Amino acid sequence: MRIYRHYYDLLEDHRYGAIAIGNFDGVHRGHREVINQAGKYSHEQGVPWGVLTFEPHPRMVFNPDEPPFRITPFHTKARHIEDMGVEFLVVLHFDGELAKITAEDFVEQVLVGGFDASYVVSGFNFSFGHKGAGNTALLREMSDKLSFTTNGIEEVLDDDGEIISSTRIRQYLAEAKPRDAAQLLGRWFEIEGRISLGDQRGRTIGFPTANIVLDTNTRPAIGVYAIRAGLDRGPDTVWHDGVANLGYRPTFDGDKCLLEAHLFNFDQDIYGAHLRVALVDFIRPEQKFDGVEELKAQIKRDCSQAEKIFSAENN
C-alpha cells in the first residue's frame, strides 16, 4: 500500500479511484464496511481503491488537553487498512488551515481536483469541512455536477442491534471488558510500542517482562490481563500467550503508566523491538503488595488463570 501525505501528488495509477473517507479510529467493523464498499466499487469498475484520512485526529487539534483517546495510532491504523487490501492511503495533515476549508471547497479541491475521484463513500455520521458542514447529503448534492458517484453507509449494528462505534469500544475498554471491545473491533484490541529498558526487577523475581510506555492510546482499565503478544512482523507476527500488568506498579511506588508483558515460554532478548500486545481477558485490578514474595505468589496465580483462559479458548 502506498501512503501519500498530500492530495495533489497522486500517481496516475491512483487517480480516478474509489475513495473511502473518514477518521477511522479503531478501524472497527463499521469502518471496515465503509472501506470495503470502496473496495467493492473498485473491483467492479476496475479503478484504484483508496482511503483518505487525517492526522492528527481532529479531536486532538480542537481539544488538545483531552486525555488520550485513540484506539489506533497512525501506524496501527495504516497496518489494518493495508491488511484489507487497500491500494493507497492519503493522510492529510489536520490543522487550523485545513479546518478552515469549506466543505464545498474540500470536495472540489481535494476529492475532485486532487483525486479525480470516481466514487466517494463515507459513514453516516462523518462530517468534513469548516465547522463540519459537509456530510453525505452534500456529497450527493455535488456529485452530479462534479461527475462522481457517492454513497453514505448506514450505521452498522452489532448482534444486539446497537450501533458499532469507537465511543462504545473506548467505554468497554475503560470498563475492563476487552472481549466486548473485540466484538466491535472484529479483532483483539492491541497496545503496541517500542520495548523500553526498565529496572529489570521482573527478571530477578522469575517473571521477565517487556515494558511499553503508554502514549496517545486510549487507556483501558488498570489491572492484570491475559494477553497475546508478538514482535511486529505484519501478517507474519508470531503470537505468544502471556499475562500483563497495565498500571503504575504500586508495590514499587511507580510513577508512570506502563504495560509490563510477561510472555510464557519465551526467553529472547527483545529490548528495542516493536511489540504488539493484544488484551484478551481481564483477570483482576492492580493492587499493592506487602513485599516481593506476596507479589510473586500472586503473579503465579495470574499466570495460572491466564493459562486456563487460553486453554478454554483452544478447546
Q: Which residues are catalytic?
A: 260
Task: For residue 271, give the amino acid letter.
Answer: Y
User: Within 10 Å of residue 109's Cβ, how many Cβ atoms?
Assistant: 14
User: For 57-93, b where at least 16 C-beta lie within 10 A, e where not — what string?
Assistant: bbeeeeeeeeeebbbbbbebbbbbbbebebbbbbbbe
Contact 92, 114 (CB under 8 A): no
Counting every residue written for the chain, the total comes to 315
Distance in angstroms (rounded) separating the CA atoms of residues 315 and 307 = 12
Closest to 193 in 3D by CA, of 271, 268, 78, 91:
271
Helix 178-185 to helix 166-174 angle (10° resolution) is: 160
User: Within 10 Å of residue 190's Cβ, how many Cβ atoms?
Assistant: 22
